[in-house]
């Protein structure tokens, strides 16, 4: 069974085609970028063959999708003989609100709900829906599945998701903590338990998904009970360009001083803040480390702030869980950056967390990085959100 996995943004489409018959195999993947701009770009990489890059205007999502489908069956570099070999399509959908605590096969009702949630996720859900509707036109006979970033966190208890604001805003507008990166948090927790031979329903786990966007979750007996992102992904950790937790009074003060309207305030906290804002150097951790090594004090400070944030959330969630058996690092930073892992876990003996410097040198792999005698196991686990989407798509499209 071949599954096409799509992640449609407002101006981009990331895609992967996977064969799911035995051990999952990626047949091809790539990205359509700069949709709607004067110069668009289409990248296609069939596994084991050279990458194809086409630069051309891509006026809308349907032109982008068309490029993807044509590439997949191209006589020279395609990986399928015909489009009939695509058996199902899985979509990453940003916001499932309180409607979706699981992935769902797409029907009229699911689309109506995804559309309604565009109200609280205006940057993502309309683009996700556009992807779904375009695929329905291009491949009308093929079942489609939606996998939500929020659904794993629907098990949060009310005390963890209600904000300290008038309750009517929750009732009327759905303003509450939802959390994101759910597929990744769930996937790495389950994968780690499989590797360790543990029963997840007996364990207390803290998962740190550290990428451009970053969030931490507390997972009790396999269920998410708290998570650092909130109503939107801007909350929680200081991130690449997002502010994370911020005194709202500080934002109001800056807005007044700088004469910021809502759109500008939004850009400030989402695009100009985080380690980029602190360092003035970059949002990329490799560039920050390089700048720090050259003596850039603000790059060093940005890394320090980031690791301190991660550490605080680990401590907070150990309190939430009444202890912790396993801490997992994942995402581009969590999987690769040994300094961030080491510094975030520094001086946490009281929680039984102790990193083995030698074991911690690993990159992009699944490994234990805590010392043999540490009470709490610390691991780095590679995440694979596309694989989760493909697996859910196989399961649901067969029903
Ligand atoms: P996204 O949220 O866009 O999916 P990723 O999970 O791909 O992000 O993570 C991107 C981040 O991972 C960047 O900050 C990048 O610097 C960092 N990263 C990737 N490789 C390394 C590495 N070898 N060392 C340190 N940081 C890395």
Per-residue three-class SS string for 224-267: EEEECCCCCCCCCCCCCCCCCCCCHHHHHHHHHHHCCCHHHHHH
Q: 398 falls in which pLDDT band (50, 70, 90)? A: confident
Among 332, 340, 386, the mutation site with the greatest number of ligand 1 atoms within 8 A of its Cβ is: 332
The long-range contacts involving 16-23, CB below 8 angstroms and separated by at least 24 positions, are 16/386, 16/390, 17/72, 17/79, 17/80, 17/86, 18/386, 18/387, 18/390, 20/390, 20/391, 20/394
- Tokens encoding 4: 């096409």
CATH topology of domain 2-148: Nucleotidyltransferase; domain 5 (3.30.420)
What's the DSSP call for residue 74? -
CATH topology of domain 195-380: Nucleotidyltransferase; domain 5 (3.30.420)
Q: What is the pLDDT of residues 122-136, one digit of tens each?
A: 889 999 999 999 999
Among 212, 278, 306, 344, the mutation site with the greatest number of ligand 1 atoms within 8 A of its Cβ is: 212
Q: What is the pLDDT of residues 49-71, one digit of tens each?
A: 999 999 999 999 999 999 999 99
Q: 291 falls in which pLDDT band (50, 70, 90)? A: very high
14: which residues sit within 8 A by CB, 6+ positions away? Answer: 6, 7, 29, 30, 31
- C-alpha–C-alpha distance, residues 65 and 81, integer Å: 17
- C-alpha–C-alpha distance, residues 173 and 159, integer Å: 18
- Tokens encoding 145: 């599945």
Mean pLDDT of 11-23: 96
CA of 74 to the centre of ligand 1 (A): 32
pLDDT of residue 123: 85
- C-alpha–C-alpha distance, residues 7 and 128, integer Å: 7
- Tokens encoding 224: 């998410």
Length of the chain: 399
pLDDT of residue 10: 85
Q: How far apart are the first and last CA of the chain?
A: 14
CA of 239 to the centre of ligand 1 (A): 11
Is 340 in contact with 275 (CB distance < 8 Å)? no
Q: 21 falls in which pLDDT band (50, 70, 90)? A: very high
Question: Could you give the residue range(s) of every CATH 3.30.420.40 domain in the chain?
Answer: 2-148, 195-380
Read off φ and ψ for residue 32, nearest 5 degrees.
-105, 125
CA of 70 to the centre of ligand 1 (A): 31
Q: What is the pLDDT of residues 317-341, one digit of tens each?
A: 999 999 999 999 999 999 999 999 9
Q: Which ranges constitute the DSSP H helices of the chain?
A: 61-72, 108-116, 125-138, 158-161, 168-173, 182-196, 248-258, 262-271, 274-279, 285-293, 297-321, 331-336, 338-344, 385-397
CA of 340 to the centre of ligand 1 (A): 12
Q: Which of 21, 87, 149, 337 is catalytic?
A: 149
Q: Which residues line ligand 1 (CB under 6 A)?
A: 211-213, 240, 284-286, 331-333, 336-337
What's the DSSP call for residue 47? T
- C-alpha–C-alpha distance, residues 262 and 266, integer Å: 6
The long-range contacts involving 244-248, CB below 8 angstroms and separated by at least 24 positions, are 244/273, 244/274, 244/309, 246/273
Q: 392 catalytic, yes or no?
A: no
Q: Residue 46, SS3? A: strand
Residue minimizing CA distance to atom 25 of ligand 1: 337
Mean pLDDT of 209-218: 96
Mean pLDDT (the chain, rounded): 96
What is the enclosing helix (H) or strand (E) of 383? none
Q: Which of 261, 254, 213, 209 is nearest to 234 (CA)?
A: 213
pTM, 2 dp: 0.95
């Amino acid at each position: 069974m071949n599954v096409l996995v799509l992640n449609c943004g407002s101006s981009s489409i990331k895609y992967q085609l996977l064969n799911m018959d035995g051990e999952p195999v990626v047949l091809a993947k790539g990205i359509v970028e700069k949709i709607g701009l004067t110069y668009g770009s289409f990248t296609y990489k069939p596994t084991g063959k050279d990458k194809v890059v086409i630069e051309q205007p891509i006026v809308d999502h349907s032109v982008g999708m068309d490029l993807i489908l044509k590439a997949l069956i191209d006589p020279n570099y395609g990986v399928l003989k015909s489009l009939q070999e695509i058996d199902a399509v899985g979509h990453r959908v940003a916001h499932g609100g309180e409607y979706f605590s699981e992935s769902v096969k797409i029907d009229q009702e699911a689309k109506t709900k995804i559309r309604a949630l565009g109200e609280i996720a205006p940057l993502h859900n309309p683009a996700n829906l556009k992807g779904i509707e375009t695929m329905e036109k291009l491949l009308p006979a093929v079942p489609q599945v939606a996998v939500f970033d929020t659904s794993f966190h629907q098990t949060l208890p009310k005390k963890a998701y209600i904000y300290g604001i008038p309750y009517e805003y929750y009732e009327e507008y759905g303003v509450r903590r939802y959390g994101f990166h759910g597929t990744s948090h769930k996937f790495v927790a389950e994968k780690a338990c499989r590797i360790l031979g543990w029963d997840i329903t007996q364990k207390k786990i803290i998962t740190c998904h550290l990428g451009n966007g970053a969030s931490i979750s507390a997972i009790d007996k396999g269920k998410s009970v708290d998570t650092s992102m909130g109503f939107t992904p801007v909350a929680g950790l200081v991130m690449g360009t997002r502010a994370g937790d911020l005194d709202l009074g500080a934002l109001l003060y800056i807005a007044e001083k700088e004469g910021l309207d809502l759109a500008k305030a939004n850009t400030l906290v989402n695009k100009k803040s985080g380690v980029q804002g602190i360092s003035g150097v970059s949002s990329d951790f490799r560039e920050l480390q390089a700048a720090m090594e050259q003596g850039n004090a603000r790059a060093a400070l940005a890394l320090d702030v980031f690791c301190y944030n991660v550490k605080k959330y680990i401590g907070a969630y150990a309190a939430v869980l009444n202890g912790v058996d396993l801490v997992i690092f994942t995402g581009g930073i969590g999987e690769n950056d040994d300094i961030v892992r080491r510094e975030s876990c520094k001086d946490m003996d009281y929680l039984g967390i102790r990193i083995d410097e030698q074991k911690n040198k690993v990159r992009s792999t699944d490994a234990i990085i805590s010392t043999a005698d540490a009470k709490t196991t610390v691991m780095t686990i590679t995440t694979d959100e596309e694989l989760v989407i493909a697996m859910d798509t196989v399961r649901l499209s067969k029903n």
